Amino acid sequence: MDEVKVIFRQEGPLSSGNHYGCRIAQAADGHLFITLGEHYSYRDEAQNLSNHLGKLIRIAPDGSVPPDNPFVGRDGARPEIWSYGHRNPQGLAVDPANGRLWEFEHGPRGGDEVNVIAKGANYGWPVIGFGIDYSGTQIHETTTKEGMEQPAKYWVPSVSPSGATFYDGRLFPKWRGSLFAGTLSGRMLLRLTVSDRAVTGEERLLQNLHERIRDVRQGPDGALWLLTDNPAGRILRVTPAAK
């Protein structure tokens, strides 16, 4: 690697090593969507538009801010922000059929979410949600509130969804249009069927592996490639079973 250039730097209290988000997805117009966690100790900052914690941002590949971002020109708001109120977003995928952006994020004890991301929308953390604190105490005011988005689906107990992708290959014709996500605590691969902005079904795959699946991608041959947290650093290729 050479000519390395920093095109974006997160603004806000520094992370202690938790909830840093970390996913990037590129839209058809070339712009980059990047997930940024709220750093665990600063969860209220997810509602603060003056920094990047708990936000999903949108930038051009050179790091510049697209002029049609929702908070451009708004006093006290970072212009890179596309949506906010996120906890620890670990999965991000663009639906190739329609360009919609889908995001997976970790809740605390319960309340993991998959969201359809809308421009300028507030996804509620920590004001609303479906989980509780690790101590067992209540975090949220309620589960719904005007002006805050509801998830397309949530999980209680948690499955810890991670890297995600839409499948449009031909190796698994019955899976075309499915949304896949790895899981960490769930130690499985999720296959979600979606219609418009709704999740219409869920299938749990590869549970017999007993491995944390960190990421899933579609290969050029239509196979699914999985990155696991196995101590050996395994990358797995998934193809149809031989008949």
**Residues recognised as catalytic:** 19
Largest pairwise CA distance in the chain: 62
- Tokens representing residue 224 in the block: 């699914």
Q: Terminal CA-to-CA distance of the chain, rounded, Å?
A: 43
Identify the burial level of 49 via C-beta atoms within 10 angstroms of its C-beta, where 0-12 means exposed, 13-18 middle and 19 or more buried. Answer: middle
Place of tokens 């902005």: 197
Phi and psi based region of residue 90 (left: phi greater than 0; alpha: psi -120 to 50; beta: remaining): alpha
- Tokens representing residue 243 in the block: 């008949």
Residue 138, Cβ neighbours under 10 Å: how many?
Answer: 9
3-state secondary structure of 66: coil
